[in-house]
């Protein structure tokens, strides 16, 4: 058929499909209508004879894509040569390390980005002699080889009637190649997990190709995928994916709008229609996906207990049923060149496309059932696992020295040491780009947001030095007279050291006499290395009384524990659990490094419809209770004896904590108040004239008569309507005003929620959110399964570093300014971020816009200054400085971006957008902005090539896969089992996450536990998040920062089950396990050490969920296999990549 023929325009991406009303799906484990009964097959392929349902109208195959290395190009022109096809897929390590040795055990995937260029590469289209397994050997690099004539045997595959299913459309998918500009190693074949896409049927065709690199002067490395005529065969490691040409009649390219505001985009609707049960197998590249994209992937906030699991929509087994794995057959090195699109496969017509000419014959195929489907090779599109692995190999061994301006740090997934030599560590600040455009026009053209994710009190590993504390005495820190920037390494001393010129505003300021020092022959002060503020990127100043409220030094902060003692809390055992834990936990309150004991005072309140205050003064024999029943006008009934020193009042506190569970053991009170509880804590801190934190343990919607009373307004019918945004907004402004009062006093609120039903997290979370606090949620709390997680969270929350009464300001050098802020804080003006409390896990994300031109010579500077009270009551200033490069060439911008930080910013931007815009508008804006970013790169930085190629910048080649994960997240695309509270909870949680947390949250880590080496400390190599990577004979661990799943295949060896779970068979494994049993054998010890290591890396204790293959909980687990199509309609990675290509082409034409 003609490759240039226009595709039928079926319903656009995400539109409803006829015939799929609602989410009804066959019960889990039943066969689909019309399919023969078959046992649920291995993850590596379907049972023979499993027929797939016909695809909904409007699925059209389009491009596929390559990945691992330099440019990926998708070519749809049959005539164009692919001048540089190289057989294997992975580009070389970017920092000169040799390519992995044969048999290397890390998973295949694209290269980590680097700062050096590779030319773009286009690729020829391979045809394969037999289904192929990728050999673990590097392809020879043949420099300067000219393209050689095509030599290729044409074979025909027998086809029956036109393919009638999604799977069969895959028959028309080609292999895909990503060329790379140096010898590269293909993905390893023998990793022991199913990394080879299953293929059935065989055909013989040879393929060959040498490649010649393009000139490397045209911009950063890219990833490019060529698309030509479809071929029905398994792609090679390095292959062109050829698929149908996308429609080319599209609107003209207009300059992208500025990135503020969530606006509409050209992306057709993706929510609003239910989606069919997932077709067996990931969708075709370029297939349009209908229905609301899935909510699942990236998190399950906290699955309800097993009894409620039945409410999950059952459905047929998802992707991964594709046929037995192919026989292995290594390709030959050094293929002769071949012309794009000229491979020897001729096939029957495709659905939605006319034949190549009227009456195109079905060569030699008698009518009959269509052959088993083939599919596009997912190994040939950019792999997050490979990028992470390459970055670890290339950058994990050397320390990251911060002395150079505009250096891109290693990825957050790489373990590296930081040496501060003048710029803040990436643990404190990460930027979306380290080379920013000189002009606002250039920034608007690229649409790359300029943002920094700042974590001012980040915890450092033990081998790195904490910021030095500098005390300048009563005169305080030295600052610029005009812009008030603090002394930093970029200030320029002049006139022999008597004055300094500000690096932010260029104002000249006198050096105070006590601070004067002579300059050496280079113009540096001779005490440069003795002063942290002149030689380091991060340091602290001791603040003077001028930096304190009411010009007096603060008192040490207080912690107030406020416990719900209503019927639910008492009956579930929660009240007793909290009281028991607090007895020992109070010995671990945070304290300054060398202090004997903590300076923090503590107080206790219990409540249901009324509040009970406790006097625990050390001179009392027994605690005294005072009840305040007038909740409409809250006051604190006692001053002396409410906030006490733990050591002085230890016996009285212990007595109180013993008595509370007994006092309320027979309560019948089910109603609770909430706002008066916060007001009580606030009044207590006001009376004590100190800042502090309230730890509130709360179980239900506050419906008792009181200020801040709420009603149940949960309404799932609002999903996918214009009113959906109201579900994320607080139902009353009362809590916003209360939050403002709390911030003014330095009263931070941490909220522990234990709901059994809706309790309006969107409203209850307002005060914790705006005061810089945290929310922890334990839905359907059960003592035996959830207590361990809750107690770990509580211990960490009480013990972690916190700054109180904090104000942060970000200063920038002339040319850019901070314009927008995201995170858990309050702002009363446009510049100051105010937080009653700021802990070591919280980030503030700042967006910058141009207000003038920047110069390449001077670069751009950021200074983040945080004023806060330490846990000992000391007022301090923490300063972080960062210098960035500026560029006049877009190629330099694209070469120095950080995709993980970009996704962190885009997710927060979108999650704020849902408060004011319909979710569909927010999703469209996200897709549109990313298409603009990639289209600008294609137009201005990539080598000229056919419009059918998708070309991605090397350091942004994971942007499509990560963006798809954000779009499929529960906030932007909820599945039927995701509650309104879950969505509000996740929205607030993500808003203050750091880059490492969003990375694993949106693209979870999947580890094959059966491949773990029990004798080493290392983790097994991660694999990609797709069902077809799972083998039913293995055990896998998946973590996303909130949950850890242990997935057990049905065919796992009995000895492994015995060693890990202590039971003799698969059927005896309990789903109710919340921790792994402690067994004395190497495998059990290894797995538990892996779980402990992962728990230690995360800010929250992750819930452990054991999932048996084919069990009802497996649906939950599949939410997290984010490269697959999701049950509620989210696109698979391959599909979304193709969709992005279509969007980019529309922008470019």
Per-residue pLDDT tens over the stretch 329-384: 443 333 333 333 333 333 333 333 333 333 333 444 445 555 554 455 778 899 99
Q: Summarize the confidence of residues 384-400 as an average pLDDT.
A: 95
**3-class secondary structure per residue, 744-762:** HHCEEEEEEECCCCCCCHH
Residue 45 has pLDDT above 50, yes or no: no
| Lookup result for tokens 């007994």 | 662
The order of strands in the sheet holding 429-431 is 429-431, 450-454, 844-850, 816-822
Report the chain's C-alpha Rg in angstroms.
30
Query: pLDDT tens across 615-630, in order?
Result: 999 999 999 999 999 9
Cβ burial of 214 (10 Å; 0-12, 13-18, 19+) is buried
Do 925 and 865 form a contact (C-beta atoms < 8 A)? no
Do 334 and 138 form a contact (C-beta atoms < 8 A)? no
Query: pLDDT tens across 757-811, in order?
Result: 999 999 999 999 999 999 999 999 999 999 999 999 999 999 999 999 999 999 9
Geometric angle at alpha carbon 957, from 954 and 962, rounded to 5°: 150
pLDDT, position 371: 52
Instruction: Of 19-33, 332-346, 366-380, 500-514, give the lowest mean pLDDT range.
Output: 332-346
Dihedral sign of CA atoms 628, 630, 632, 635 in order: negative
Determine the Cα–Cα distance for residues 996 and 841; give it in Å rounded to an integer.
Answer: 11
Torsion of CA 509, 510, 514, 519, to 10 degrees: 90
Distance spanning both ends of the chain, measured CA to CA: 24
Query: pLDDT tens across 186-225, in order?
Result: 333 333 333 333 333 333 333 333 333 333 334 444 444 4
pLDDT, position 342: 30
Determine the Cα–Cα distance for residues 783 and 791; give it in Å rounded to an integer.
Answer: 11
Determine the Cα–Cα distance for residues 638 and 435; give it in Å rounded to an integer.
Answer: 58
Residue 1023 has pLDDT above 80, yes or no: yes
pLDDT, position 1129: 84
pLDDT, position 375: 52
pLDDT, position 812: 97
* Cβ density class 795-815: b for 16+ within 10 Å, e for less: eebbebebbbbbbbebbbbbb
Residue 1051 has pLDDT above 60, yes or no: yes
Q: Specify the DSSP class assigned to residue 1134.
A: H
Residue 322 has pLDDT above 70, yes or no: no
CB atoms within 10 A of CB 826: 19
Residue 1037 has pLDDT above 60, yes or no: yes
Residue 1035 has pLDDT above 90, yes or no: yes
Q: 339 — phi, psi (to 5°)?
A: -80, 140
Determine the Cα–Cα distance for residues 961 and 954; give it in Å rounded to an integer.
Answer: 14
The order of strands in the sheet holding 508-510 is 492-494, 499-501, 508-510
pLDDT, position 124: 37
Do 65 and 175 form a contact (C-beta atoms < 8 A)? no
Query: pLDDT tens across 159-179, in order?
Result: 344 444 433 334 333 333 333
- Mapping DSSP to helix (H, G, I), strand (E, B) and coil, where does residue 446 land? helix
Query: pLDDT tens across 236-285, in order?
Result: 333 333 333 333 333 333 444 443 333 333 344 444 444 444 344 444 44
pLDDT, position 369: 54
Diameter of the chain by CA atoms? 100
Query: pLDDT tens across 46-84, in order?
Result: 343 444 444 444 434 333 343 333 444 444 333 333 333
- Mapping DSSP to helix (H, G, I), strand (E, B) and coil, where does residue 429 land? strand
Do 26 and 277 form a contact (C-beta atoms < 8 A)? yes
Give the distance, in angstroms, between the CA of residue 645 and the centroid of all CA atoms in the same chain.
Answer: 41
pLDDT, position 368: 52
pLDDT, position 379: 83
Strands (E), 1056-1129: 1103-1108
Query: pLDDT tens across 550-606, in order?
Result: 899 999 999 999 999 999 999 999 999 999 999 999 999 999 877 889 999 999 999
**Residue 12: C-alpha distances to residues 57, 260, 289, 816, 993 (Å):** 10, 26, 8, 40, 34
Q: Summarize the confidence of residues 1025-1038 as an average pLDDT.
A: 95
pLDDT, position 77: 36
Determine the Cα–Cα distance for residues 712 and 59; give it in Å rounded to an integer.
Answer: 41
Determine the Cα–Cα distance for residues 141 and 181; give it in Å rounded to an integer.
Answer: 9
Pair of tokens at residue 78 = 């049959």
Geometric angle at alpha carbon 841, from 838 and 843, rounded to 5°: 70
Determine the Cα–Cα distance for residues 631 and 971; give it in Å rounded to an integer.
Answer: 35
pLDDT, position 253: 39
CB atoms within 10 A of CB 33: 7
Determine the Cα–Cα distance for residues 631 and 875; give it in Å rounded to an integer.
Answer: 35
Global confidence as pTM: 0.72
Determine the Cα–Cα distance for residues 1021 and 1017; give it in Å rounded to an integer.
Answer: 12
| Lookup result for tokens 């179980």 | 699
Give me the residues paired with residue 628 across strands.
611
- Mapping DSSP to helix (H, G, I), strand (E, B) and coil, where does residue 959 land? helix
Instruction: Of 106-115, 626-635, 854-863, give the lowest mean pLDDT range.
Output: 106-115
Q: 777 — phi, psi (to 5°)?
A: -130, 130
| DSSP code per residue over 494-530 | EGGGTEEE-TTT--EEEPPGGG---B-TTS-BTTGGG
Cβ burial of 296 (10 Å; 0-12, 13-18, 19+) is buried
Query: Strands 1043-1048 and 1035-1039: what pairing?
Result: antiparallel
pLDDT band at residue 681 under the 50/70/90 scheme:
very high
pLDDT, position 344: 34
With a pLDDT cut of 70, the percent of the chain lying above it is 67
pLDDT, position 945: 83
Determine the Cα–Cα distance for residues 353 and 7; give it in Å rounded to an integer.
Answer: 6
Pair of tokens at residue 801 = 């570093």
Residue 691 has pLDDT above 80, yes or no: yes
Do 723 and 746 form a contact (C-beta atoms < 8 A)? no
Query: pLDDT tens across 730-753, in order?
Result: 999 999 999 999 999 999 999 999
């Amino acid at each position: 058929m003609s490759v240039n023929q226009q595709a039928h325009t079926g319903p656009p991406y995400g539109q409803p499909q006829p015939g799929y009303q609602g989410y009804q799906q066959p019960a889990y484990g039943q066969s689909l209508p019309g399919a023969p009964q078959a046992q649920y097959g291995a993850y590596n392929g379907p049972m023979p004879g499993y027929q797939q349902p016909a695809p909904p109208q409007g699925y059209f195959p389009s491009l596929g894509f390559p990945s691992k290395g330099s440019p990926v190009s998708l070519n749809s022109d049959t005539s164009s040569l692919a001048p540089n096809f190289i057989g294997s897929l992975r580009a070389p390590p970017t920092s000169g390390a040799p390519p992995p040795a044969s048999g290397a055990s890390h998973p295949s995937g694209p290269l980590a980005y680097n700062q050096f260029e590779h030319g773009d590469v286009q690729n020829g289209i391979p045809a394969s002699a037999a289904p192929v397994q990728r050999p673990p050997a590097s392809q020879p690099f043949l420099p300067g080889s000219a393209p050689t004539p095509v030599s290729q045997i044409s074979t025909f595959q027998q086809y029956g009637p036109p393919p009638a299913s999604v799977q069969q459309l895959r028959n028309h998918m080609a292999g895909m190649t990503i060329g790379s500009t140096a010898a590269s190693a293909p993905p390893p074949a023998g990793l022991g997990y199913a990394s080879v896409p299953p293929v059935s049927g065989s055909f013989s065709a040879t393929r060959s190709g040498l490649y010649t690199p393009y000139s490397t002067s045209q911009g950063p490395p890219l990833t490019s995928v060529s698309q030509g005529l479809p071929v029905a065969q398994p792609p090679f490691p390095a292959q062109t994916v050829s698929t149908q040409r996308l429609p080319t009649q599209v609107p003209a390219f207009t300059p992208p709008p500025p990135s503020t505001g969530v606006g509409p985009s050209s992306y057709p609707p993706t929510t609003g229609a239910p989606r069919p049960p997932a077709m067996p197998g990931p969708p075709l590249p370029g297939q349009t996906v209908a229905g609301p994209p899935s909510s699942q992937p990236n998190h399950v906030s906290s699955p309800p207990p097993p009894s409620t699991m039945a409410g999950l929509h059952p459905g047929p087994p998802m992707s991964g049923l594709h046929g037995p794995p192919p026989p292995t057959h290594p390709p030959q090195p050094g293929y002769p060149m071949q012309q794009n699109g000229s491979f020897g496969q001729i096939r029957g017509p495709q659905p939605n496309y006319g034949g190549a000419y009227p009456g195109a014959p079905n060569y030699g195929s008698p009518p009959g059932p269509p052959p088993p489907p083939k599919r596009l090779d997912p190994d040939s599109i950019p792999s997050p696992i490979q990028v992470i692995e390459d970055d670890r190999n290339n950058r994990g061994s050397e320390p990251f020295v911060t002395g150079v301006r505009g250096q891109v740090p290693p990825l957050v997934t790489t373990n590296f040491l930081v040496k501060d030599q003048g710029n803040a560590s990436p643990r404190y600040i990460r930027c979306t780009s380290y080379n920013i455009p000189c002009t606002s026009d250039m920034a608007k053209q690229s649409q790359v947001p300029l943002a920094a994710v700042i974590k001012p009190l980040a915890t450092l590993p033990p081998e790195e030095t904490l910021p030095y504390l500098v005390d300048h005495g009563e005169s305080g820190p030295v600052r610029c007279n005009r812009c008030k920037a603090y002394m930093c390494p970029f200030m320029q001393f002049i006139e022999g050291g008597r004055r300094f010129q500000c690096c932010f505003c260029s104002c000249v300021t006198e050096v105070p006499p006590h601070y004067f020092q002579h300059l050496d022959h280079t113009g540096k002060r001779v005490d440069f290395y003795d002063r942290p503020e002149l030689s380091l990127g991060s340091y602290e100043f001791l603040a003077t009384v001028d930096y304190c409220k009411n010009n007096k030094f603060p008192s040490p902060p207080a912690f107030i524990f406020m416990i719900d003692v209503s019927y639910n809390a008492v009956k579930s055992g929660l009240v007793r659990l909290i009281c028991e834990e607090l007895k020992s936990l109070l010995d671990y309150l945070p304290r300054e490094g060398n202090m004997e004991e903590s300076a923090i005072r503590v107080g206790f309140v219990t409540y249901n419809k009324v509040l009970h205050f406790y006097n625990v003064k050390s001179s009392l024999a027994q605690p005294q209770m005072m009840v305040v029943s007038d909740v409409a006008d809250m006051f604190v009934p006692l001053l002396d004896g409410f906030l006490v020193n733990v050591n002085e009042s230890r016996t009285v506190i212990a007595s109180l904590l013993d008595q509370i569970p007994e006092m309320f053991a027979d309560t019948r009170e089910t109603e609770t108040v909430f706002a008066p509880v916060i007001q009580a804590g606030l009044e207590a801190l006001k009376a004590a004239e100190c800042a502090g934190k309230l730890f509130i343990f709360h179980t239900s919607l506050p419906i008792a008569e009181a200020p801040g009373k709420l009603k149940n307004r949960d309404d799932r019918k609002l999903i996918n309507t214009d009113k959906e945004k109201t579900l994320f907004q607080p139902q009353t402004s009362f809590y916003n005003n209360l939050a403002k009062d709390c911030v003014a006093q330095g009263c931070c609120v941490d909220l522990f929620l234990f709901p059994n039903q809706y309790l309006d997290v969107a409203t209850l979370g307002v005060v914790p959110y705006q005061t810089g606090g945290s929310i922890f949620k334990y839905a359907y709390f059960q003592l035996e399964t959830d207590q361990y997680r809750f107690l770990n969270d509580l211990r960490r929350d009480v013990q972690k570093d916190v700054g109180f009464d904090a104000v942060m300001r970000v200063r920038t050098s002339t040319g850019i300014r901070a314009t927008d802020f995201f995170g858990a804080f309050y702002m009363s003006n446009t510049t100051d971020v105010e937080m009653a409390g700021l802990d070591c896990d919280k980030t503030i994300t700042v967006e910058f816009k141009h207000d003038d031109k920047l110069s390449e010579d001077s670069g751009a500077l950021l200074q983040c200054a945080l004023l806060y009270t330490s846990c000992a009551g000391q007022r301090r200033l923490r300063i972080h400085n960062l210098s960035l490069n500026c560029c006049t060439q877009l190629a330099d911008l694209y070469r120095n971006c950080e995709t993980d930080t970009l996704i962190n910013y885009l997710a927060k931007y979108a999650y704020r957008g849902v408060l004011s815009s319909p979710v569909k508008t927010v999703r469209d804006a996200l897709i549109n902005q990313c298409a603009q970013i990639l289209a600008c790169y294609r137009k201005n930085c990539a080598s000229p090539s056919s419009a059918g190629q998708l070309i991605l910048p090397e350091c942004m080649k994971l942007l499509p896969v990560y963006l798809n994960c954000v779009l499929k997240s529960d906030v932007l695309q909820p599945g039927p089992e995701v509650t309104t509270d879950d969505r509000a909870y996740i929205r607030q949680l993500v808003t203050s996450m750091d880059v490492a947390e969003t990375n694993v949250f949106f693209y979870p880590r999947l580890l094959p536990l059966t491949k773990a080496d029990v004798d080493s400390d290392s983790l097994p190599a991660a694999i990609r998040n797709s069902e077809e990577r799972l083998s039913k004979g293995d055990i896998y661990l998946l973590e996303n920062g909130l949950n850890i799943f242990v997935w057990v295949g049905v065919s796992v060896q009995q000895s492994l089950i015995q060693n890990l779970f202590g039971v003799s068979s698969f059927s005896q494994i309990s789903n109710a396990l919340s921790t792994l049993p402690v067994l004395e054998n190497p495998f059990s010890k290894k797995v538990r050490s892996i779980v402990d290591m992962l728990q230690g890396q995360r800010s929250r204790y992750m819930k452990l969920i054991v999932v048996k293959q084919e069990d009802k909980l497996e649906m939950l687990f599949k939410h997290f296999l984010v490269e697959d199509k999701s049950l509620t309609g989210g696109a698979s990675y391959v599909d979304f990549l193709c969709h992005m290509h279509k969007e980019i082409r529309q922008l470019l034409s």
